[in-house]
Amino acid sequence: MVSPLEPPPSEMTEPVSAAQGATDSEPPDEPNPPHAGGHGLRFAAVAAVAALGVVFGDIGTSPLYALKTVFLLDGGAVRADQTDVFGVISLMFWSITIIVSIKYVTILMRADNDGEGGVMALAALAQRLYANRAGKAGILLVIGIVGVSLFYGDSIITPAISVLSAVEGLDVTTPAIAHLIIPIAAVILIGLFAVQRFGTGRVGGLFGPIMVLWFVVMAVAGLVMVIRYPAVLLGLSPTYAIAFIVGHPSISFIALGAVVLVITGAEALYADMGHFGPSPIRRAWFFLVFPALTINYLGQAALILHHPEAKANPFFLLIPEWGRLPVVILATAATVIASQAVISGAFSLSRQAVALGVLPPLTIRQTSKREGGQIYLPALNGLLFIGVMAVMLAFGSSERLSTAYGISVTGALVVDTLLLLLVARPLWHWRAWQLVLAGVAFGGLELTFLAGNLSKVINGGWVPLLIAAAVITIMTTWRRGRQLVQADRKKKEGSLSEFIEDIRVQRLPRVRGIAVFPHPNKESTPLALRANVRHNHVLHEHVIIVSTTTAQVPHVPPSDAFVFDDLGYALDGIDHLTIRFGFSDEPDIPRALRDACRAGVLPLKPKDFNRASYFISRGAIRATREKGMVRWRRSLFVALAHNAADPAARFGLPALRTVTMGSDVEI
């Protein structure tokens, strides 16, 4: 159990690090990236392919169900004639262009926070830009909480609908085994969540070539139909989208609820930026993904226009009969990758939420020695798996799941646009007309999508809203509980300098040995240190207060890893040491202390720490009737604190020489 008195990772490390959290196992070895000449170009291509294997799975599999859903809405309200087909394809193309190509890939990916993307990183960046406005900073964090909560709903629904939509291709190819669709999808999802522990880098390296093949097949299948019916290219004109909306306002409003499916994965694309960086993602998008999606949607539109019966499943009917079964297999692999995109995004956003103090400390495993963004969260992986399996079994088909899809996606898009408008002026010095243009172009379109999806609430749209409400409750409860704990802790800790002065006056007995106290700073007194003096009336011969930070590099050399402070008295045996870990370094405090001795930073010998004792501040939370939090939220906070990551394991402290001390905390 992590102590409610132990600071969250946001206080034990730098505020918003690109590699927040602990490493529980040694990451796999990876080759050093080449940098120059042809090797640099080859590495850029490899990075782009790896990004394809993680980042674009969600948006890249939308052709499986997006256009089909539009034409099956409301009993076929959208007709398979030229006006409606061209109108829908125009809406799809310009939605992808405006929201994904311009907003996310071109603009928002410039708004990273220490290399991390996603709504929480954007909220943290906004907080930093408005740090001198205390009231606005709190509002920005709340906006970020809403955005990430909606993304969790997307993270649960996307794997279920993506895998089901691919496996349902068996209805077209081999109807005799259609009854096995749910069991097959379940086995695939079990395998997907089981391989997460190996890291997104390795998963991306495995999935990347598959996604290259997937986009090439999509483009070729669509191109054949476009060449046969080139007039469909007229559907790229925005005039058809305008004519469709003006001529059929009620039908187009319903259609927008399904058109939004073409941009699912845009937020995941941004959230996954920390795994690979912006350049590989941009190259993959503009050179392969965007053209392939456009050509495939055009091919499906041409097929529906000339063969209206194909609207039942235009993606698979676009494929020649001899190639449908292999494409079903390929589509299944691609939808597994689609699920990977949102899972990776959920990992990134959760780590950022921990760093911002709105989620309890989680066990975070670094899976790459080169990329700080490649991480694995075992607890979150398990929760996502349970949620995905539950919604898949409850809805049973991609068609029914599509009614639950869209609200979380469009809500997250709107939140990102709001934060974008807030950071654009201080970050890029945008003028008023640029803010208005972006607000109208992005926000106007996204609010229309959101309004169109609100009609789905009764028929399943309540699911992502329920998930978002649960996450918001957890995050706001943890944030408020932390504030109450910190207020009580601040009163109990007191000033470290005053404590040292009191110790000098008392002349306490000193016992042989070293006592190490992990603590976030050198201004306040570790509660375990106070408790040890109060109850045992002794002090160790050497007392070392240790604070840790995480740097933005894989490894920190010993010359830069330590900062020593004797706290004003060189001979009193009470010192402070700051340890800087790289994001690929295992945050092992005992090992780091021995390294500090070898580097001549600590006036001790490395072997002295073979018997050192470690003291962690720990105390039970006692719920009170004081104002500040209702009883059920106090109980929830206690449960969250009880299940948070153990700081002793997080920092590699030896179990037999680690002592937990402190005082109870009241909230």
Residue pLDDT, tens place only, 196-221? 877 655 665 667 788 899 999 999 99
Q: How many residues does the chain have?
A: 667
- pLDDT of 354 strictly over 90: no
Cα 474 to Cα 386: distance, rounded to the nearest angstrom: 18
Q: Rounded to a whole number, what is the distance in angstroms from the first to the last CA of the chain?
A: 18
User: For 222-232, what is the mean pLDDT?
Assistant: 95
Q: Report pLDDT for 621.
A: 65
- pLDDT of 402 strictly over 60: yes
Q: Report pLDDT for 517.
A: 93
Q: Report pLDDT for 656.
A: 87
User: For 644-660, what is the mean pLDDT?
Assistant: 82
Cα 226 to Cα 299: distance, rounded to the nearest angstrom: 5
589 neighbors 518 (Cβ within 8 angstroms): yes
Q: What would the pLDDT profile of 612-621 be if each residue is shown by its tens digit?
A: 999 987 666 6
The alpha carbon of 16 is separated from its chain's Cα centroid by a whole number of angstroms, namely: 14
Q: What would the pLDDT profile of 498-507 be if each residue is shown by its tens digit?
A: 888 888 777 7
Q: How confident is the model at residue 647 (pLDDT cuts 50, 70, 90)?
A: confident
Greater confidence (224 vs 354) lies with 224
- pLDDT of 52 strictly over 90: no
User: For 75-85, what is the mean pLDDT?
Assistant: 84
Q: Report pLDDT for 236.
A: 94
User: For 187-191, what is the mean pLDDT?
Assistant: 89
Q: How confident is the model at residue 35 (pLDDT cuts 50, 70, 90)?
A: very low
The alpha carbon of 276 is separated from its chain's Cα centroid by a whole number of angstroms, namely: 13
Hey, what are 298's tokens? 């055009």
Q: Report pLDDT for 135.
A: 62
Please write down the HEC assignment for all residues of 319-345.
CCHHHHHHHHHHHHHHHHHHHHHHHHH
Cα 377 to Cα 384: distance, rounded to the nearest angstrom: 11
Q: Report pLDDT for 37.
A: 44
Amino acid (one-letter) located at 208: G
Q: Report pLDDT for 93.
A: 96
151 neighbors 264 (Cβ within 8 angstroms): no
Q: Report pLDDT for 462.
A: 87
Q: Report pLDDT for 234.
A: 94
Residues 6+ apart with CB under 8 A from 423: 111, 122, 125, 126, 129
Q: What would the pLDDT profile of 500-529 be if each residue is shown by its tens digit?
A: 888 877 778 888 999 999 988 888 888 888
Weakest mean pLDDT among 462-471, 561-570, 582-591 = 582-591
Structural domains for the chain: 76-480 (1.20.1740.10), 494-666 (no CATH)
Most confident among 35-39, 338-342, 565-569 (mean pLDDT): 565-569
Q: Report pLDDT for 521.
A: 82
Cα 209 to Cα 442: distance, rounded to the nearest angstrom: 33
Q: Report pLDDT for 619.
A: 61
Most confident among 213-222, 387-396, 566-575 (mean pLDDT): 213-222
Q: Report pLDDT for 17.
A: 32
Greater confidence (279 vs 73) lies with 279
- pLDDT of 237 strictly over 80: yes
DSSP state string for 35-76 = -SHHHHHHHHHHHHHHHHTTTSHHHHTGGGTHHHHHHHGGGT
Q: Helix, strand or coil for residue 368? A: coil
61 neighbors 335 (Cβ within 8 angstroms): yes
Q: Helix, strand or coil for residue 137? A: helix
Burial of 408 (0-12, 13-18, 19+ CB in 10 A): buried
Q: Report pLDDT for 298.
A: 96
User: For 270-293, what is the mean pLDDT?
Assistant: 86
Which residue has tokens 């609820």?
257
Cα 266 to Cα 247: distance, rounded to the nearest angstrom: 29
Q: Report pLDDT for 514.
A: 92
Q: Helix, strand or coil for residue 315? A: helix
**CA nearest to 66, candidates 380, 473, 402:** 402
What phi and psi, each to the nearest 5 degrees, are found at residue 21? 105, 180
Q: Report pLDDT for 473.
A: 92
Greater confidence (262 vs 165) lies with 262
Hey, what are 620's tokens? 């039970």
Q: Report pLDDT for 625.
A: 64
Weakest mean pLDDT among 553-562, 614-623, 648-657 = 614-623
Q: Report pLDDT for 89.
A: 95
- pLDDT of 48 strictly over 90: no
User: For 605-609, what is the mean pLDDT?
Assistant: 89
Cα 293 to Cα 315: distance, rounded to the nearest angstrom: 12
Q: How confident is the model at residue 230 (pLDDT cuts 50, 70, 90)?
A: very high
Average pLDDT over the chain, rounded to an integer = 81
For residues 366-391, one letter each, b for 16 or more C-beta atoms within 10 angstroms of the residue's C-beta and e for the rest, the string is bbbbebbbbbbbeebbebbbebbbeb
In 3-state terms the chain splits into helix, strand, coil percentages (rounded to 5) of 65, 10, 25
User: For 534-543, what is the mean pLDDT?
Assistant: 88
Q: What would the pLDDT profile of 116-171 be if each residue is shown by its tens digit?
A: 777 877 888 888 888 777 567 678 878 888 888 888 888 888 888 888 888 887 87
398 neighbors 161 (Cβ within 8 angstroms): yes
Residues 6+ apart with CB under 8 A from 329: none
Cα 546 to Cα 544: distance, rounded to the nearest angstrom: 6
DSSP state string for 380-398 = HHHHHHHHHHHHHHHH-SH
User: For 333-351, what is the mean pLDDT?
Assistant: 78
Q: Report pLDDT for 661.
A: 74
